[in-house]
Amino acid sequence: MADRRKQQNYTAIASYLPASMWNGFEALPRERCQSMLLQHAWLLGLRCPSEPTFAMLQNLLLLGVKAERRQMTTFQRYEDLQELKKCWRRFKMAKGKDADTCYLEYLECLPCNVPDLPAEYHCSAFASEEPEPCRLPVDNLLMAVGSSKLRLSKEHAQGNQAEPTQLTEHMKLMEMCFKMGQSAASTPASSAPPSAPSSRPSQPEFKQPLALEDAPRPLPAAAPEKPEDFF
């Protein structure tokens, strides 16, 4: 029986990821990252993903794979997306029907702002770790999703059409920004040992300028001479 619930737009999910998940995209195998991401999306209330939502999940998972893996043809990228959908269906079946309908509010669209997320999903998704700001330019991430092929034409189905230049450029820019974000987040202040020096540059000690501090005070003006002083 087909699911009669409306498809959910969760393309804002990149704003809901904790630091451990961002770090995992680079350090962990694709299968492990995929399992973590699907579970996190489930805790955020995802049940019936829309096509753009699947494309967003795919783009996030491609951040950590080798460069040659990202240089896929349109057909290969489409096949990868179909495999992700199959993984979601298996994941959802494993959860069971009771868990699939266990929620107070069905979100058709994940809010762009994290504080607008209903409390039931915030408590389940962030029980151990709060989200951090997206480490990617959101506009480019959405453009990459918009450039993804969700359906194939006859030419694409032949499997030999190169990846669209626009999507490739978006992926390159996202990779560069992602690497920069990873470097900036690699030594968070909260995880540094107590004895470790702060990663922030020390503020220079303020000293009052010598011109104001040591300048000699002017002598009082001499009293004008009286005429009788000359006699």
pLDDT the model gives residue 127:
95
Low-confidence ranges of the chain (pLDDT < 50): 1, 154, 165-166, 189-215, 229-231
Nearest to 130 by CA among 30, 2, 15: 15
Whole-angstrom Cα distance, residue 212 to residue 133?
Answer: 45
pLDDT the model gives residue 139:
84
Opening angle at CA 69, ends 166 and 17, nearest 5: 75
**Is 15 strand, coil or helix?**
helix
Q: Which residues contact 88 (CB under 8 A, 6 or more apart)?
A: 38, 49, 54
Domain assignment of residue 93, yes or no: yes
Domain assignment of residue 194, yes or no: no
Whole-angstrom Cα distance, residue 6 to residue 149?
Answer: 22
Domain assignment of residue 144, yes or no: yes
Domain assignment of residue 205, yes or no: no
**Is 221 strand, coil or helix?**
coil
Rounded to whole angstroms, what are the CA distances from 156 to 19, 86, 174? 37, 21, 25
Domain assignment of residue 151, yes or no: yes
Domain assignment of residue 148, yes or no: yes
The structural domain count of the chain equals 1
**Domain of 167?**
13-186
Residue whose tokens read 């003006």 = 221
pLDDT the model gives residue 219:
56
Whole-angstrom Cα distance, residue 177 to residue 57?
Answer: 18
Whole-angstrom Cα distance, residue 21 to residue 64?
Answer: 11
Domain assignment of residue 81, yes or no: yes
pLDDT the model gives residue 72:
76
pLDDT the model gives residue 198:
40
